[in-house]
Every structure is written in structure tokens, then in C-alpha cells.
Structure 1
Amino acid sequence: MYSSHADSMQWLDDIQVLEMIVDKFSTSDSAEVHANAAEILCAVTRYAPPALAAKISSPSFVGRLFQHAFEDSRPKSVLVHSLSVCISLLDPKRLVSASYQAFRSQLSHGTLVTASPETVNGMLDSLGDLLKLLDVSSAENVLPTTYGSLQPPLGKHRLKIVEFISVLLSIGSEVAETRLIQLGAIQHAIDLFFEYPFNNFLHHHVENIIGSCLESKQDHLIGHVLDECKLVTRILEAEKNSALSSDLTKHTLSTEGRCPPRIGIVGHMTRIANKLLQLANTNIMVQSYLQQNSDWIEWHTSTLTKRNALENVYQWACG
């Protein structure tokens, strides 16, 4: 037995326990094993002794994660859980499961791992290959739903990629922001937001992406979302055509012969629109953009103002 915590941690480092755990992504096909491996690694990122913290946040370790994730023969759960570890490196306070809460209370050594610029750069090296997996154009599987069909369904792995983009934008790395713009990651995420109007998990992450861009105070990010991604235009178009499409070229289809339901992103669009209004009070760029858009002004006056008044719970009366 080891006489001190430091000795036991050194032993764990000497036997390369992190490498043994991460290699489970390559040697096992079990999604449960992948989930367990990721949870252990995430726990290490949150409360690791210095030696393990340095190793798990190193570019070589991140590269090892992505190497397993991109292997053609590996199930999608490898990608999903590998990204969970990367997300935890970027945002150690983000909780993966409730079981960590109980585990955390027993910890008394170590500190939170914070992603260094080198760690982030290690992730950015694989970003291009990661974004290729967001492409749904070649997928042929169809999932019937109560409102119609998804062709194809978004899938957990694409959802996790969007979450990863969301967290990557939240850390304030200009290098990451520039790379995400160059690769079209933000625009692709916004496209998915409108293409899958009933995936609330997706909408949550994309709303966070948009919020990070608009609140960044970086003109190139704000301009990218407003001009290149045409955020306001797409919101207004979705408001005008708020019924689910039956166009066979769309990824989310309404059941033929039935009254199409209303798209499920209206609440998120309302929050994003109100965020734009709020920022227009302090950001000249946003203010100028909205003031020059006559369609926005008309929609704001005729629809958004009334909607906000109707949904203001503080003005509701009982009975």
C-alpha cells in the first residue's frame, strides 16, 4: 500500500492508467464501456492531481481521443463519449451525470483541469474531419415520427458535435472562433436548427452558439452570424412559413394528407430575437443592422411586441 495520496497518484501515472482507459474506446464495442470510460476521464478533468491533469489535457492525449473516434470500424458511441471528454476539458464544471455529484463530495485532492491554448489547438486540428460528420445529405435512413418523418434523423453523434461547437465558442478563444467561422461550423449549426424544427436538444445548443457569438463583443463573430449566416432573415422566413414543410427535399417532413403541425422552434426564435433587441441597446453594429431591415421592423411591431406582451407572466391575471 502507498503511504500517501501523492504516491498513489504517481503509481497511477506510472502504470499509464489514462492510456488504458482511453484505449477502451478502441478495444470494446460496448456503448456502456465507452460511457464508463468517458465518465472516469471526465472526473479526472474536474479534479485531477497535477501529473494526471497535465497528461489528460495534452494535445497528444486529445489526439488519441479523436484517433479512436474517427476509426471507421468504431460505433458512434466512441465519437459521442470522446467528445464528452473534450467538452469536459473545455468546461470542467459541466456535469455529465448525477453520479459525479456524489463522487465529487468525496474528493479532497487536486484541482480543476483548464484547457490550455495547446489543448484547444489539439482539438482544432480535428475540427475539419469532425464537421464532415454533420453532413446529412448522403444519409438514407428514415425515422417515422408522430408528425411525419426524419430523413435522416439527426443522431446523437451530430447532436454531440453541435454541443462541442457550443462549448468551444464559450471559452473565448479567438483562434477557435476564427477556425469555426472559416470551416462554416456556426452556419452549419444554424442550418440544422431550421432543418430539424422538433429537436429541442439541438435548438438549445444552437441558441447557445448564437448567444456566444452575439455577446462576444467581437465584430467578426457578430457580423458572421448576422450577414453570412443571415440569422434575422432566416428567423423571419421561418415565422412566415411556420407550418412543417411537406417538401420531399427537406430533412423533416410532415405526414402527407394531414394538417402539418407548427414548427417547434418558435420559442427559441423569440428568445433569440429578444436577445438581438437587448443587444441593440448597447451594440451599435446590431442596432444599425436591425434599423436597416424593414422586414424586421415590421415583424417586431406586428408580431414580436404582441407576443412578448402575451407571454409576460407578470401581466397575467387570475380567474
Structure 2
Amino acid sequence: MFWKLTSLSASSPVETILDKENFTLEELLDEEEIIQECKALNSRLINFLREKAQVEQLLRYIVEEPPQDADSKRAFKFPFISCEIFTCEIDVILKTLVEDEELMDLLFSFLEPNRPHSALLAGYFSKVVICLMIRKTAALMNYVKGHQNVFCQLVDLIGITSIMEVLVRLVGADDHVYPNFLDVMQWLADSNLLEMIVDKLKPSSPPEVQANAAETLCAISRNAPSALATQLSSPGYVAKIFGHALEDSHSKSSLVHSLSVCTSLLDPRRSAVSSSMFNSYRGQHMFESPVPVSPETIGAMLPKLNDLLMLLTVASDSTVLPTTYGELRPPLGKHRLKIVEFIAVLLKTGSETAQKELVSSGTIKRTLDLFFEYPFNNALHHQVESIILSCLENKSDLMVNHILRDCDLIGKFLSSDRDSNLSGDSQPTVAASGKKSPRVGYVGHITRISNKIGQLSNSNGQIKAYLQGNSEWNEWQGSVLQERNTVENVNRWGCGRPTTLQDRTRDSDEEDRDYDVAALANNLSQAFRYKIYGNDDNEEDQNALDRDDDVSLADILFPLFFEKSRKLSRHILSHYDTYGGCMLITVCY
């Protein structure tokens, strides 16, 4: 006995269209199941789509802006479906495209300067080109080699993130897509591509152009060793990048992004971890051994250290940032934080020449002063901690003697720990009048650094001799530090908190209450979306902080955290001594 199952025997709607004597490409693109049929390799459908006329029309949907009176299908659906058809990676359709010069010209006509470049179509263009890089590498590279203007047009549109992604692929962020990777990199190095990208770091370029140019250059540095990466790390290009960074003191965006490239040249893995595209490009390189930094590269950076040190001076900056705990006059700013990060990475290279220059210029001493001047900027504290540890762990007696004696590290730590509340007349962080001064936010960092100093004294005679001669340190270490380490020993904690808290009295509204961490995170996220990432063109936001120039993330993270979660903040501050001053804000950042 057999049953007739109508639902299983019914043909696809695409087949119904193909059975017609006269049907159009638009009818197929309007059918919901066309992508599914392409992936299922429907032979009748593919034979139709592989024809030059159909490929040309699909490309026009991707590269040509729809007419102003076009309906939603022409404006949105057809371009999307056309892009999806190409990215199905059907070999015969891609072959029709790459083997026809006119079709390739039509595809890359999207880059022409005398036409609009919407973000929507730029995304579709990027997906198609990257698909060709992966599946038709040789044919695409041969076309690009024969049309040198493609590079210039791509760089001119680098401010569009989708176009930047194409450039990142071209310069070898995914080196496995090139069968002849070394030859391609050499050919790119012989062209003027690198020079054009570096020029986009000029202060006259818009911030989004500078950011995407820096991301592309960082991608090149992560490909070391390659001909293009070697060229970028040459003294000539390093000097040019620093020249753009310091060309205009008012262009902080150019400084930040140029220093990002220099940081990447010193430590490519560092830029890879912070890159938003790292998960997509070269994720396997995170575990590779670092490539030694050329002394010539470091030498080209050192003449500009004095200029960077001048930018760390805040006396001439009149910007004021009000916060819940007081005022910042001025806020540290992203550009100063980037300078400190660059110094920390420069020290980690182990270059003796760089160490001597940093000591003689007073740069390390200045970064240590910033540590105390901005008591709630945990991002800054993290970078300064890295600088301190690099000096202490250094085999050079010069660095250890400088950080301990010239900078008086132990003395500043002990003085700050004795009076750990924010001073009412300190600069540039001024406590709010009429309120109880909060405790400074770097006590946890002091605790961690002090413990590290104690460990290093066991293997470093110079550190050990200095500590033994400091009676105040010995007393503080044996009482305050030891007690703090005992309290912070997580192995003694019960139910996720120190057992000593059981004897403390709590506020009535905090009795047996669990804080909703998810709600807290949501409040914090909403706070960031309000104003900080608002519309820059809104007149109401003109007085808001410029996220690129005037304020760093850490400058506003602390006040927003406490503003949005007052009850939790009271709980944390009431038990602040027990937690040793390690602010929860460090984890949030």
C-alpha cells in the first residue's frame, strides 16, 4: 500500500518560476527560497544565473544606487539577495565574473570617486570582493595588478569600514588566502600602497579615516616578518608616523591612532588583542612567538620622547570634567593614556637605549606622578603598574635604582597609604565640596605592586638591600600589608565574601539582599549610550565630552558606575578596607 504525500512531492517555487516560458531575474530574486536553492546547487537555477547578462544585473544591484523613486525591493531586497548569491561561492558564477574584464570593471566601478558610496552597498561590495579573494585569488590579484588605480581608490575610501576590511585582506591579514603570499607581499611593498595609507594619519584627515588607516597598518605589523611589515618598521616610515602624530598638538585623534601603530610595531600581539577585527583575521597568531623588534625601529622613536613628555603636562589644559566625586581639571584624556601605554610597551622591549632615554628625560617619573594625580583612572594605573614592574624586573641596575631612589616609589606608596582619602585641594582631581571625600582607587594596585616588590627582593640583591634599609617599609609590610593579604585571601572567603564581614553591621535596606549584576551591567551600558556615544551633530551634545580628544573611558567609568548603582556603591565603600581598595570598576573596564 502506498500513500501520496502532496507536501513532499510538490516542486520548489523556484522550479515553478523556471518552468515558465518567460520569466525575469527579478521574479527569482523575489522568491524567498532562491538562496536555499543556490546552496542546494539547483542545476537549472545555476545555469541561468551563470550567464553574463544575469551576473551583470546582479552586480548592478550591488554597485549602483537605486533610483530615488525605487520601491523597497529594488532598494534593499534585490541588492541583499544578489550579494548572497555571490557569497554562496558557486564556482561557475564566480568564474563568469572573474574571467570577464567588463564584469570586473563593473564590480570595481563602485570605487570611482564621482559616485555615492553608501555604507549598505559598501558592505555588499566588500563581501563579494573578499569572496573572490578566497575562491578566485589568482584571477583577482591579476586584475588588481593590471589596474593600479584600485589601490588608490580603496585608500581614498578607507574611512568606510567595509572598504577597510578589503584593504586588510589585501595586505595579508589572512595570509592563507594567498597561494603565493610572499610574492604578493613583495609586490605590495614595491607599490606605493603603504605610503598612501600612512598619509591618511595626517591631522587633516577625519577621525574615522585615521582610525581605519591605523587598523590597516596594525594588520600589516601583525604579519611580520613580511616585506610590507619590514617596510613599515623602517626608520623612515616610523619617523613619518611620529611626524603625523605631533604635527598638530590640537589633533589628539591623529596622536592616538599614530601611537596605536607605533605600539603595534613594538608589540604586534598587543594590537591584535585590542583589535575589533582580531577574531576574524589571524586569530591563530595570538599564540605565535613574538618577532624581535628592530633596534632601528626603536631608535627612530626615541627623538620624539621629549615631545610626548610635554603632552603629559596638564597645567596648561583648562578643560573641566564634573564627576560624582568631584572635578577633573583637566581629565586625563585618551591621548595621554595612549602615551603612557606606548611608554609601557617601549619599556617591555628591553632596549637599553630606550631605557636610558626614558630615565634621562624624566618620563618614568612623570608617569608615576600621573598615577597619584588621577586616583580613579584604573586604566592609567594598570599601565603605570606595567612600567613599574618593567623597571623592577629589569636586569639593569640603572632602572631599579631610578624607580626606587630617584622616583622614591616606596616613599610615595607609604605616604599615599597613610592618607588614602581624596584630598580636597589636590590637583588635578578635586574632591567635591560638602561631601565626604572618597577613598582613592589605586590602593589595590599599590597592594599588588608591594607584594611583587617583596617577591623580587628574594632574587634581587639591590632591591633587598634598599628595603632592609627602610625601617618604615619593614614596619608597614609586617603589619598593614600582611593583614591586607590575609583579608584578601580568597581561600578564606565564605559565600563569595570575606568571612570577617559576618561580624560587620549592614544597612537595613541591604539586609540579605543579592544585587542584580545583570541589571547593573544594563544600567552601565545605557549610561554609555547616553551622550557619550550620542549624535555628535546634536546641538545639545556640543558641550559633551569629545570621546576622541578630551576624555578617556576610565575618566567617566567610575562616576557612571556609582551614579547608576548607589546602593551597591555604599556596600562596596562600606567594606572598602576589607577589599584592600581593589575597585570593582577595574573588572568592568
Q: More displaced, 3-12 or 190-199?
A: 3-12
Structure 1 stretch displaced more, 236-245 or 11-20? 11-20
Map of 2:202 onto structure 1? 26
Count residues with an aligned counterpart.
315
In the alignment, structure 1 segments of 5+ residues that lack a partner are: none
Residues 163 and 27 from structure 1, CA distance in 2 versus in 1: closer, same or farther, beyond 3 angstroms? closer
Partner of 1:214: 392
Shift of 1:74: 5.7
1:221-253, CA deviations, whole angstroms, 9 ceiling, x for partnerless residues? 011000000000000010111110111x51101
Contact 2:252 2:335 (8 Å CA) reproduced: yes
Residue in 1 that maps onto 2:36: none
Structure-1 separation of matches of 2:348 and 2:184? 35
Matches within 5 A, 1:173-212: 173-212=351-390
Q: Which amino acid aligns with 1:311?
A: E
The one-letter amino acid of 1:42's match is: C
Q: Mapping of 1:52-201 within 5 angstroms?
A: 52-72=228-248, 75-94=251-270, 95=272, 96-105=274-283, 114-201=292-379
The answer as to 2:486 corresponding to 1:309 is yes
Moved more, 290-299 or 42-51: 42-51
Name the aligned partner's letter for residue 245 of structure 1: S
The residue type equivalent to 1:211 in the other structure is: L
Check if 1:242 corresponds to 2:451: no
| Contact residue 241 and residue 258 of structure 2 kept, 8 A | yes
Name the residue aligned to 2:477: 300
Cα contact 1:91–1:114 (8 A) shared by 2: no
1:275 match: 452
Tell me, in whole angstroms, the C-alpha distance in 2 between the residues paired with 1:77 and 1:5.
33
Distance 1:87 1:93 in 2: 10
Work out the CA distance in 1 between the residues paired with 2:250 and 2:194: 20
Q: Which residue of structure 1 aligns with residue 95 of structure 2?
A: none
Alpha-carbon distance between aligned partners in 1 of 2:291 and 2:304, rounded to the nearest angstrom: 21
Q: Indicate the SS of the match to 1:122.
A: helix
Q: Conserved in 1, the CA contact under 8 Å of 2:182 and 2:226?
A: no
Amino acid at match of 1:156: K
Q: Larger radius of gyration, structure 1 or 2?
A: 2
Give, as a single letter, the amino acid of the residue that structure 1 aligns with 2:397: D
Distance change >3 Å, CA 106–CA 311, structure 1 → 2: closer
Secondary structure at 2:327 match in 1: strand
SS of equivalent residue, structure 2 residue 263: helix
CA distance in 2, matches of 1:100, 1:160: 20
Deviation at 1:139, TM superposition (A): 1.0
Residue equivalent to 1:259: 436
- Describe the shift of the 1:75–1:27 C-alpha distance in structure 2 as closer, same or farther (beyond 3 A): closer
Give the stretch that moved more between structures: 257-266 or 89-98.
89-98
Deviation per CA, 1:160-206: give whole Å up to 9, x if none. Answer: 00000000000111111111000011101100001101000000000
Aligned 8 A contact 2:392 2:399 in 1:
yes
Identity percentage of aligned residues: 55
CA–CA separation in structure 2 for the residues paired with 1:245 and 1:12: 56
Secondary structure of 2:353's match?
A: helix
CA contact (8 A) 1:198 1:263 kept: yes
Give 1:302 shift.
Answer: 2.2
CA distance change for structure 1 residues 7 and 28 in 2, over 3 Å: closer, same or farther?
A: farther
One-letter code aligned to 1:231: L
Separation in 1, partners of 2:348, 2:436: 40
The Cα shift of 1:51 comes to 2.0
Matched to 2:277, the amino acid is S
Structure 1 residues 148, 205: closer, same or farther in 2, change over 3 A?
same
Deviation, structure 1 residue 48:
4.5
Could you tell me how far 1:106 is from its partner in structure 2? 8.9
TM-score of the superposition, structure 2-length normalised? 0.52
Aligned partner (choices 285, 294, 300) of residue 462 of structure 2: 285
Q: Distance in 2 between matches of 1:10 and 1:237?
A: 57
Partners of 1:165 and 1:106 in 2: CA distance: 27
CA-based RMSD: 1.9
Give the superposition deviation at 1:113.
5.6
Residues 105 and 212 of structure 1: CA distance in aligned 2, closer, same or farther (over 3 Å): closer
Deviations for 1:259-300, whole angstroms, at most 9, x for unmatched residues? 000000000000011011111111111111111111112211
CA distance in 1, matches of 2:452, 2:315: 32
* Corresponding letter in the other structure for 1:133: L
CA contact (8 A) 1:53 1:113 kept: no
In structure 1, C-alpha distance between the alignment counterparts of 2:482 and 2:225, rounded to whole Å: 53
Q: Closer, same or farther in 2 for the Cα pair 1:106/1:209, shift >3 Å?
A: closer
Structure 2 CA distance, aligned partners of 1:124 and 1:73? 18
> Shift in Å at residue 29 of structure 1?
3.4
Change (3 A) 1:26 1:98: closer
Deviation of the 1:72 alpha carbon: 1.9
Cα separation, 1, equivalents of 2:472 and 2:428:
27
Query: In the alignment, is the contact (CA less than 8 A) between 2:293 and 2:349 conserved in 1?
Result: no
TM-score, normalised by the number of residues in structure 1 = 0.93
Q: CA deviation at 1:130?
A: 1.3
> 1:17 offset after TM fit, Å?
0.8
User: How many Å separate the matches in 2 of 1:306 and 1:10?
Assistant: 60
1:29 match: secondary structure: coil
Equivalent position SS for 1:288:
helix
